[in-house]
């Protein structure tokens, strides 16, 4: 009943008209400052989301290693940072409320997240997972085509093959090119669309188009931001995912503020 009422309200209201600003290095700096500020204002709840993200990643990698699914460990390790926008919904909601100087608790944030299942935001999870699984299977395909003679049977053996054989170097080169293309596509359609869908009543197509438009208008700055996010997350993953607990919340808050600086309603 409530979902039907929301659909009727969305149909009755005029479509949202959005303007996209050109991104600058100043926008990135200010977004990061605001991200650290939000983290400092609500550290416990922010760290909770970072801990969940880190735990999810650690369990994923350990589980894949234990069950000998070595081919997917690489895809998970490289692609894992790119699913962060969907998992950062709680951080977006916190930053939105902090910007409005609203009082809130954990229940308010979780309630806002769960309510998104009745809106377009939930469909973005399918888009992210679709690209992620394409990523995973292309890794398996390239692995089979380049390393079929080496009979990879453990993570240690895989690392040895990758960095000491010509086949391993070929795999890394081809996989990196394909991965970069998919990473750019996924980043472009999610960097703005995720916070936009959480913030305004727009459809998923409008959100993705707006996100891609933002990247196209400022390709160097936006793709540079994506590279920084990916690099920081991968570095944080290295020490047993401990760094992710701190890096992920700050980047989540910063992503929300970057969205607010670049997208406005007419």
Tokens (6 digits) for 261: 């600086």
pLDDT of 212 higher than 80? yes
- Mean pLDDT over 44-63 rounds to 83
**What percentage of the chain has pLDDT greater than the value 70?**
80
pLDDT number for residue 2: 41
Cβ-contact 69, 152 below 8 angstroms: no
Distant-in-sequence, close-in-space partners of 42: CB < 8 Å, separation ≥ 6: 94, 98
pLDDT per residue over 104-162, tens digit each? 999 988 887 777 666 677 777 778 878 877 887 887 788 778 877 766 666 677 777 77
Residue-range domain boundaries for the chain: 21-259
Cβ-contact 230, 81 below 8 angstroms: yes
- Mean pLDDT over 195-200 rounds to 89
Residue carrying the six token digits 């980047």: 251
Whole-number CA gyration radius for the chain: 20
Please give the residue that has the higher pLDDT: either 9 or 252.
252
Distance, CA of 168 to CA of 149 (rounded, Å): 11
Please give the residue that has the higher pLDDT: either 39 or 144.
39
Least confident of 127-136, 146-155, 197-206, 241-250: 146-155
pLDDT number for residue 3: 46
Distance, CA of 146 to CA of 148 (rounded, Å): 6
- Mean pLDDT over 198-216 rounds to 92
pLDDT per residue over 165-181, tens digit each? 888 888 888 888 888 88
pLDDT number for residue 249: 93
Helix (H) or strand (E) holding 126: helix 121-146
pLDDT per residue over 71-109, tens digit each? 555 556 555 555 566 678 899 999 999 999 998 999 988
Mean pLDDT of the chain: 82
**What percentage of the chain has pLDDT greater than the value 90?**
36
Sign of CA dihedral 121, 125, 126, 131: positive
């Amino acid at each position: 009943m409530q979902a039907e009422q929301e659909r009727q309200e969305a149909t009755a209201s005029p479509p949202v008209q959005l303007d996209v600003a050109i991104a600058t290095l100043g926008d990135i700096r200010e977004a990061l400052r605001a991200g650290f500020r939000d983290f400092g204002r609500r550290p416990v709840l922010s760290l909770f989301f970072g801990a969940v993200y880190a735990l999810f990643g650690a369990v994923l990698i350990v589980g894949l290693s234990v069950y000998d699914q070595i081919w997917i460990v690489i895809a998970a390790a490289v692609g894992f940072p790119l699913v962060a926008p969907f998992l950062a919904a709680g951080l977006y909601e916190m930053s939105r409320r902090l910007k409005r100087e609203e009082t809130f608790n954990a229940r308010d944030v979780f309630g806002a997240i769960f309510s998104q299942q009745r809106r377009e935001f939930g469909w973005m999870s399918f888009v992210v997972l679709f690209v992620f699984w394409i990523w995973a299977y292309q890794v398996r395909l390239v692995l089979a085509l380049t390393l079929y003679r080496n009979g990879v049977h453990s993570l240690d053996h895989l690392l040895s093959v990758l960095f000491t054989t010509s086949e391993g170097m070929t795999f890394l080169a081809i996989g990196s090119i394909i991965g970069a293309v998919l990473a750019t596509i996924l980043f472009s359609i999610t960097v703005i669309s995720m916070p936009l869908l959480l913030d305004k009543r727009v459809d998923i197509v409008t959100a993705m188009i707006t996100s891609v438009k933002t990247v196209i208008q400022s390709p160097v700055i936006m793709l540079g931001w994506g590279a920084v996010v990916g690099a920081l997350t991968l570095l944080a993953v290295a020490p047993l995912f401990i760094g992710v607990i701190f890096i992920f919340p700050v980047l989540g808050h910063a992503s929300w503020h970057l969205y607010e600086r670049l997208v406005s309603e007419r």
